[in-house]
């Protein structure tokens, strides 16, 4: 049923968390006048209509409920943006489209969320991030002077700061918070990064660890499986970052052993080889091990074995994406299902990034094997 003008004003006011007196003060009318409008006891004067629309950042058509065409346009923009972000190609057109959409739909959080994602990807592709090491430190340091000059990340920060003040889903808030902490730190805004991170729940209070405690029997088994997958993912992320940013680990065999040992833990949990999204984690762990091994021991057979395993897991991951509901089957996660369309996409430039960091001698060995032609396409 189509809303009346009064109902629409009330809906927009509540959407923005505003009181009747806020709107009344902005328009120079009484609180009682706004109350009557919302009860459909009277209508605003026609000269007030543009001001009301402007107050809520909507068009006059939308204020009167004629928003079908706008909603169709918005849906089309979001679908195009989602496709471009998933493909992770050149983001230039996507960024421009979303910037224009943000002006047209200033109160639509999904437009700004997509714009933030697109700007993040565009910033990585155009400038990337730099870090450096020093002789007197065991750690890699962010090149904050360079990273903070990334104009797309600067814009991403402004967009996401605005989004975090809006009414968005917990899932969107979590994803944006993670991205904000990362980009703040890379750009040298460590106080902002720590302040935002410190506001989040402890790992012992997160949804994944609490849901098994709130349920029993088969339902508990399902949530325990989901918690295992989530916690493994975060362990992998922290371990990879720890090894790759500590010189005494990424220049020695200890670092390789950590990657491989964690891969073996994954293989124990997904004992039947049906790893779902974890195929992408195993791919990363084995490729890291291959790169480090090749750098330490040049053209070693062990590095080639690690590369082979990483390649196989990538193929397995590619084969299960977008194939419907994925059912895990190994005992610890057998109750878990997940839509494979939501498994993270793999950028077309995936292999380029890994091949570039391999020693030339080892790179030539891979190139000479016809099984790995796609790595150089």
- The reply to whether 68-198 shares the fold of 5-63 is no
Give the CATH architecture of domain 68-198: Alpha Horseshoe (1.25)
Residue 14, pLDDT > 70, answer yes
Q: What is the mean pLDDT of the chain?
A: 93
Query: Across-strand partners of 338?
Result: 326
Q: State the helix-helix crossing angle for 253-269 and 278-297, rounded to 10 degrees.
A: 160
Residue 3, pLDDT > 60, answer no
> Where in the chain are the domains?
5-63, 68-198, 203-376
SS3 (DSSP) at 351: helix
The CA dihedral of 281, 161, 118, 94, to the nearest 10 degrees, is 160
The CA dihedral of 148, 153, 157, 159, to the nearest 10 degrees, is 150
Task: Give the whole-angstrom CA distance, residue 343 versus residue 321.
Answer: 6
Q: 207: which 2 tokens?
A: 């949804």
Query: Across-strand partners of 132?
Result: 141
Task: Give the whole-angstrom CA distance, residue 122 versus residue 98.
Answer: 13
pTM of the model: 0.77
Q: Are 35 and 20 in contact (CB under 8 A)?
A: yes
**What is the domain class of 5-63 according to CATH?**
mainly alpha
Average pLDDT over residues 27-39: 91
Q: What is the pLDDT of residue 86?
A: 86
**pLDDT for 60-105, tens place per residue?**
777 877 666 777 889 999 999 999 998 888 999 999 999 999 998 8
Q: What is the pLDDT of residue 60?
A: 79
Average pLDDT over residues 162-166: 94
């Amino acid at each position: 049923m189509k809303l009346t003008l009064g109902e629409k004003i009330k809906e927009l006011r509540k959407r923005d968390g505003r009181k009747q007196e806020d709107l009344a003060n902005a328009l120079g009318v009484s609180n009682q006048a706004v109350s009557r409008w919302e009860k459909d006891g009277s209508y605003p004067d026609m000269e007030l209509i543009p001001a009301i629309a402007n107050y809520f950042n909507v068009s006059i058509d939308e204020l009167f409920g004629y928003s079908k065409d706008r909603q169709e346009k918005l849906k089309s923009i979001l679908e195009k943006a989602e496709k471009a972000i998933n493909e992770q190609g050149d983001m230039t057109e996507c960024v421009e489209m979303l910037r224009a959409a943000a002006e047209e739909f200033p109160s639509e959080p999904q437009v700004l969320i997509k714009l933030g994602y697109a700007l993040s990807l565009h910033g990585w592709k155009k400038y990337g991030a730099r870090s450096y090491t020093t002789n007197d430190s065991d750690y890699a340091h962010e090149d904050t002077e360079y990273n903070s000059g990334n104009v797309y990340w600067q814009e991403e920060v402004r967009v996401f700061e605005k989004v975090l003040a809006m009414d968005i889903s917990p899932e969107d808030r979590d994803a944006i918070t993670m991205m904000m902490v990362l980009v703040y730190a890379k750009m040298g805004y460590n106080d902002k990064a720590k302040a935002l991170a410190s506001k989040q729940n402890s790992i012992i209070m997160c949804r994944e660890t609490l849901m098994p405690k709130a349920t029993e029997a088969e339902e508990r088994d399902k949530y325990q499986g989901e918690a295992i997958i989530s916690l493994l993912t975060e362990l992998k992320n922290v371990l990879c970052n720890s090894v790759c940013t500590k010189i005494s680990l990424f220049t020695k065999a200890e670092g390789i052993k950590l990657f491989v040992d964690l891969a073996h833990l994954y293989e124990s949990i997904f004992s039947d080889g049906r790893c779902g999204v974890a195929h992408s984690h195993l791919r990363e762990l084995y490729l890291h091990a291959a790169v480090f091994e090749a750098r330490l021991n040049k053209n070693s057979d062990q590095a080639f074995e690690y590369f082979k395993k990483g390649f196989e897991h990538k193929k397995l991951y590619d084969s299960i994406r977008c194939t419907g509901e994925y059912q895990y089957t190994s005992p610890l996660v057998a109750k878990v299902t997940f839509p494979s369309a939501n498994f993270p996409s793999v950028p077309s430039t995936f292999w380029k990034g890994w091949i570039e960091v391999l020693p030339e001698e080892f790179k030539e060995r891979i190139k000479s094997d016809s099984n790995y032609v796609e790595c150089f396409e």
